[in-house]
Amino acid sequence: MTTIARPSPFNRFCAVLLGLAAACAQAAAPAPASGRQGGEEEEPTTLILSDTLHYDDVKRESTFTGNVVMTRGLMTLNADRLEMREDAEGFQYGVATVNAGNRVYIRQDRPETFEVIEARGQRGEYDGKQEQIDVIGQAVITRFVCGKPFDSVSGQRIRYNQKTDTYEAFGGPESAAAGGRVRSLAVPRAKSEAAVEACRKSQAADQQPPAPAGQKPGQKPQAPAAQQPAAQ
């Protein structure tokens, strides 16, 4: 087992799992949005698409099956089955599973930093009472910058605990890493920041309007020549 006290860059992975936890909590006990105090950020809406839905209001359980796609802001989860419930104390729980050969897929886009965080595993679990989130079986979490992979963690189980603000990665026979081990890769911050800056410059160049014919990129347009008055 490897325990990580959420150093950078692994703190970015936290945003994905926290987004998933919030979405599970919202979908487990749907209710009308309450008024918010001024200055508070509005909570994103959770949308779940599936082939079937069974909701038990007495048991406070929701079961979505068949090509399940859950979105919450810029976070997306794909699974074959998603079960969510709320206990008598108000704690929420969620389990995402897939058919044989598939993987639960979670994606968080962070366009302001040109990042995408992806998590994959055979199963995803959220325990609101313990405040912990698990990606289980062939578990991999990867951070992409400008479309290229940078940091990653892989193992049989990857767990984030909100109470202690720590990660734990476990090896085992179902590990995504070779030999059933835990594998963690952290690219130097300077290299990551350089990739972000290069992506930002590339995007800015793409957004510039095309130069007129005969004018070089970045060259200021020449003022039109003064017209001579017509001969009388």
Banded pLDDT at 6 (limits 50, 70, 90): very low
pLDDT value of residue 64: 96
Higher pLDDT, 231 or 122: 122
Residue 61 within a domain: yes
pLDDT value of residue 26: 58
Predicted structure pTM score: 0.73
Banded pLDDT at 32 (limits 50, 70, 90): very low
Residue 175 within a domain: yes
Residue 35 within a domain: no
Banded pLDDT at 8 (limits 50, 70, 90): very low
Burial class, 128, CB count within 10 angstroms (exposed 0-12 / middle 13-18 / buried 19+):
buried
Higher pLDDT, 96 or 128: 96
Residue 216 within a domain: no
Two structure tokens written together for 156: 């049989």
Q: How many CA atoms lie within 13 A of 14 on its CB side?
A: 18
> In this structure, what CATH number is given to the domain that contains residue 94?
2.60.450.10
pLDDT value of residue 213: 62
Residue 36 within a domain: no
Based on the structure, what is the number of domains in the chain? Answer: 1
Residue 145 within a domain: yes
Asked whether residue 215 carries a pLDDT value surpassing 50, the answer given is yes
Asked whether residue 104 carries a pLDDT value surpassing 70, the answer given is yes
Residue 215 within a domain: no
Asked whether residue 158 carries a pLDDT value surpassing 60, the answer given is yes
Spatial contact of 117 and 74, defined as CB atoms under 8 Å apart = no
Asked whether residue 40 carries a pLDDT value surpassing 60, the answer given is no
- Measured CA to CA, the distance from residue 61 to residue 169 in angstroms comes to 29
pLDDT value of residue 180: 96
pLDDT value of residue 33: 46
Q: For the ranges 33-37, 54-58, 101-105, which has the lowest average pLDDT?
A: 33-37
Burial class, 61, CB count within 10 angstroms (exposed 0-12 / middle 13-18 / buried 19+):
middle
Domain region containing 70: 2-30+44-194
Banded pLDDT at 52 (limits 50, 70, 90): very high
Average pLDDT over residues 31-58: 74
Residue 173 within a domain: yes
